[in-house]
Structure 1
Amino acid sequence: MRRRRRTAVAAAAAVALTLAGSAQAPAENPIITSIFTADPAALVVGNTLYVYAGHDEAPPGGSNFVMRDWVVLSSTDASNWTNHGPRLRVGDFRWAGADAWAAEVEPRNGRYYWYVSVNGNGPGWMDIGVAVGDSPLGPFTDARGGPLVSDSTPGSSGLNIDPTVFVDDDGQAYLYWGSYWGLRAARLRPNMTELDGPVLSPQGATHFWEAPWMFKRAGIYYLAYAANDSGCVTSSSYACVRYATASNPLGPWTHRGVVLGQVSSTTNHPSIVEFNGQWYMVYHTADAPGGGNFRRSVAIDRLYFNADGTMRQVVQTKAATGPFLLTSTGEAR
C-alpha cells in the first residue's frame, strides 16, 4: 500500500555505494549552510532520505531570485546530510531560459521523474517541465523537449509553478501546481510525461496561495500548501502552511488548519514525508548566516498526527533532528 511515504527500492544499492564515498557533516537547522537552498521536496528510496532543492545564488542584499540549478541532499538518519551538488540545470531544458524554481521528483516504473518550474521564454512567464533519470541522483535529461504545462494549457494557473506529483494505490498519478490563489490538478498518463484529461480546479483549499504538497496516510488524502492570509501571518508578504484533507485525491477538500507557522523568509514551502517510522516537515527559512528572502536554507522538523488524523502544528527548531522516542502525550506518528 502506497501511503505517500514516497518510497522506492529501485537503485538503492547503487545509491548506497555513491553515498559511501561522500563527505558528511552533522546537521542542525538549517541542514546545510555551505550553499543556500530552497523549495525542498523529500523522497525516500530504500534507507535514504533525499531532498531535492532549488539553489539560491542571489548576492547579499539582492532583491530578486537567482536560481540556475537544483541540488540533491541525502541522509540515512535525518540528521547527517550529504550535498551531492547540482543534478539538474535550467540549461538541460533547451526550451527554457531561467528560473530554476520549485521542483519535485517522483519514482515510477524504475525511473525518476523530476518536475520543475522554469521560465520557458515563450508566451507567459513560468512553465512546468519534466526530466527523467534511472536513479535518484540521475543523470537526468529532458523527457519531453518542451513544457508539460504552460500558459497555453487550457485551464492552467495564473502562474504555473510548484509542481507536486502523487501516485495513488491504484497506480493513477496526479499532478498539482499553481500560484496566485490558483490551485490546479490533472491526471497524468502512465508515462508520467503527458496530462491525461482536463486541468481541474480543486475546491476547498482555504486561502491557497502556492506550493502544494500531496500525500496519503491511513486512507486520508492530505494537501499542504502555502497561504498568506491574515489568520496565520503578520503580513501578507509572508506565508504559513495550511492543510486540508479529502477522501478523494481531487477533493473536494476540507480545510483543517495551520501545520507550519510563519518562517523567517517571506516564502514558505512544505514537504511532508515519513522516514524510518517518523513523519517530518521539510521546509525553508532565512536562518543560515548571510541568509535572506532570496538566500534561503532548507530545514527539517518532526511532524505529529493526532489520533483523529489531524496534524499538530510543527515546532520550528534549530537543533539536531535525528531519531528520537515518542512522548507519552498520545501523539501518533
Structure 2
Amino acid sequence: MKKIKIIIGLTLCCLSAIIFAQNPVIQTHFSPDPAPMVYKDKMYVYTGDDIPGFDFYYMTKWRVHSSEDMVNWTDHGVPISLESFSWARDRAWAAQCIQRDGKFYWYICAQTVNNDMAIGVAVSDSPTGPFKDALGKPLITTGSWDNIDPTVFIDDDGQAYLYWGNSHLFYVKLNKDMVSYEGKITEIPQSVESFGGLRRPGKSDEVLQKQEQFEDVFVEGPWLYKRNKQYYLMYAGMTGRTECLSYATSPSPTGPWEYQGKIMTNQPTNSFTNHGGIIDFKGKSYLFYHTGLLPGAGSYGRSTAIEEFKYNSDGSIPKITITKEGVNALGTLNPYQRNEAETMAWSEKCSTAENKKTGVFISDIRVGGYIKVRAVDFGKGASEFAASVGAGLDGGILEVRIDKVDGHKLAEIEVQRTGGWEEFKTLTSKLAEYVSGVHDVYFVFKGKNITAGRKLFNFDHWRFQKIK
C-alpha cells in the first residue's frame, strides 16, 4: 500500500478561514420556501419542491433536510405530499413545521377540490415523519385564494399563533392541541406605518390609482418569531419588479406592527419571489431564503440558501446580501460512524431517491459527478473505507479524494453488479494514502468502458475505519 503522510493539523477555526460552504445548500432537487426549525441541537429545514420544466409554481410535495453543522445537510425525503390530504388537489405551496409536547405539526397550504386555497396541518412523532393529516379536512378554509404561506409561533406563555396571507394578512390563536383555533380569523390592516405602504409622488388620488408605485407592501410569506421580548414579522414585500424580504416589529404578537425596512432587496437571486425564515442556532443568527441560481433554475426552480448575520445593537436587522460562499461549519463530521451518502455540502450529477426498505439514497449518479462533505475530522488517521452501493450493471467507479475534486485519492471502489439497482452491498477498500486531521471529502463518480451519460450506481452510506 502506498503511504504518503498527509497530516494537516488545522483547527476548525483555521479551516473555516480558507474553506467555505456553498449556496444553494441543496442541489439534488429544487427546495423553495425554506422554513427552519431547531430541535435537539439539530437544524431542520422544511421546503417545497419545484418541479423542473414548468412555467408556474408547480409543486406536489414537501421535503425536509437536517444539519448539525449548517454545511452538511441530510436529505430525509418526502414525508408528505398532496396525496397525504384527501381534500387537496394542486399547488403544494409554502409550509412550516413546529414542535410542541413531543409532537411535530406541519402547516401546509394547497389548492382544494373546491378550487380555492386552504391551510391544513399534518402531525408526527418525529421531525422527519412519517406525517399524517391531523384533521382529514382543512384547518383554515374561507373560499379565498389568500389562504397561503402559513407561519406558526408559540409564545412564552404557551399561546400559539398562526399567521398567513397573500396581499391580505390574517392570524388566529391556536388552541393547545395545535389543530384547532379559538375566536374569529383576524385581518391585520395594511398601512404605511405597518408595512411600508405606497410611495406617493404628490399626485392627485385619481392619477395615483393608475400610476401608484410600491415602496414596500406585504405580499406573502410571513414569518413570525420573538427575540428579547420583541416580536418580528418578516415577509415578502415588493420592490420594483421582484419581491424583497422586509420586516415589521411589535411589542405584541398580534400587533400593532411598525414597519422597519427591507432586509434583502435588489439582489441577483434570479427569482421573482423570495421567501425566508430567520432563526438562531448555536449562538448564531441565520436568514434562510431562496434563489433561482442552480443550473436550469429561475423563478419556477428555486433553492434554499443561507446567510449568517448579526443583529444591530438596537435589535434591528441589517441589510443582508446574498453570497455564493454561504455560512461556515459549526463543527466537524465523524467519519468513523455510519454516514448517509445523502448527507452532503455540495453535489453535481446525482440526485436522491427513496424506498421503504432503504430510505433515502443517492441515485442518478453520472460520470463526472461528485458529492462533497465538509470538515471531516479523521483524528489520528484512517486505514480503510467502506461504502454501501447498489448496481444493476457494472462499470461504475467510486473514488474518495480529499480537499478538492482532483485532490489526493484515498481509495477507489470498482462497483460490480449487486443484484439490482436497489440491492445494496457494502464494499471496502484499503486506503492508498495516510490521512489525518480535518479535510473536506469528495466522493467522485467515474466509469470504466461505459458511455458518459449512463447511470453508474446508487450510493446509500459510508464510513472509514480507524487505524489500530
Task: For 2:188, give the aligned amino acid.
Answer: P
Q: Which residue of 2 aligns with 1:329?
A: none
Cα offset for 1:113? 0.2
1:202 aligns with 2:188: yes
Native 8 Å contact 1:72 1:87 kept in 2? yes
* Alignment partners' CA distance in 1, 2:29 and 2:150: 23
Q: Is the 8 A contact 1:90 1:97 kept in 2?
A: yes
Please tell me whether Structure 1 or Structure 2 has the larger radius of gyration of its CA atoms: 2
Q: Pick one of 284, 288, 291 that aligns with 1:285.
A: 291
**In 1, Cα distance between equivalents of 2:221 and 2:56:** 18
| Runs of 5+ consecutive residues of structure 2 not aligned to the other structure | 1-19, 197-216, 331-468
The residue that corresponds to 1:190 in the other structure is: 176
Following superposition of structure 1 onto structure 2, how do residues 238-249 of structure 1 map, counting pairs within 5 Å?
238-249=242-253
Show CA shifts across 1:167-202 (max 9, x none): 0000000000000x2011110011101121111122
Cα deviation 1:243-271 (Å, max 9, x = unaligned) = 00000000000000011124321111010
**Residue 57 of structure 1 aligns with which residue?**
51
Per-residue CA shift, 1:107-153, capped at 9, x if unaligned?
1111000000111111x52110000000100110000010011124x
SS at match of 1:215: strand
Choose which of 106, 121, 124 in structure 2 pairs with 1:114: 106
- Aligned residue among 143, 148, 151 for 1:164: 151
Match of 1:318 in 2: 324
Instruction: Give 1:82-161 correspondences, 5 Å limit.
Output: 82-122=74-114, 124-152=115-143, 158-161=145-148
Offset, 1:158 = 4.8
Give the C-alpha shift of residue 322 in structure 1: 1.8
TM-score with structure 1 setting the length: 0.83
Is contact 1:58–1:65 with CA below 8 Å preserved after alignment? no
Whichever residue aligns with residue 205 of structure 1, its letter is: F
Q: Which residue of 2 aligns with 1:267?
A: 273
2:47 aligned with 1:47: no
Q: Deviations over 1:9-28 (max 9, x none)?
A: xxxxxxxxxxxxxxxxx951
For residues 311 and 187 of structure 2, the distance between their equivalents in structure 1, rounded to whole angstroms, comes to 28
Distance 1:251 1:168 in 2: 14
Q: Is contact 1:40-1:269 (8 Å) kept?
A: yes
| Mapped partners of 1:312, 1:304: distance in 2 | 7
Gaps of 5+ in 1: 1-25, 325-333
Q: CA deviation at 1:103?
A: 0.2
Alignment partners' CA distance in 1, 2:32 and 2:21: 16
Q: Secondary structure at the match of 1:37?
A: coil
Q: Could you give the per-residue CA deviations for residues 50-72 of structure 1, whole angstroms, max 9, x where no partner exists?
A: 0000001131xx21122111011
Shift of 1:304: 1.8
> Contact 1:40–1:51 at 8 Å: present in 2 too?
yes
Mapped to 2, the partners of 1:264 and 1:253 lie a distance apart of 30
Looking at structure 1, the residues matched to 120 and 62 of structure 2 have their Cα atoms a distance apart, in angstroms, of 13
Q: Which amino acid aligns with 1:45?
A: Y
Residue 74 of structure 1: which of 66, 69, 74 is its match? 66
User: Is the 1:33–1:289 contact (alpha carbons within 8 Å) kept by the matching residues of 2?
Assistant: no
One-letter code aligned to 2:31: T
Aligned Cα RMSD in Å?
1.4
Aligned 8 A contact 1:126 1:160 in 2: yes
Aligned residues: 285
Alpha-carbon distance between aligned partners in 1 of 2:152 and 2:247, rounded to the nearest angstrom: 16
- Aligned residue among 274, 299, 304 for 2:310: 304
| Deviations, residues 200-224 of structure 1 (Å, cap 9, x unaligned) | 1224233111000011001100000
Tell me if 1:212 matches 2:222.
Answer: yes
The alignment's TM-score, normalised by the length of structure 2, stands at 0.59
> Secondary structure in 2 aligned to 1:183?
strand
Name the counterpart of 1:328. Answer: none
Aligned position for 1:12: none
Amino acid at match of 1:67: M
Measured in 1, the distance between the counterparts of 2:74 and 2:145 equals: 36
Where is the strand percentage greater, Structure 1 or Structure 2? 2
SS in structure 2 opposite 1:91? helix
Residues 1:224 and 2:210 are matched in the alignment: no
CA deviation digits over 1:68-113, x for unaligned, max 9?
1101111111111111111111100011111110000011111000
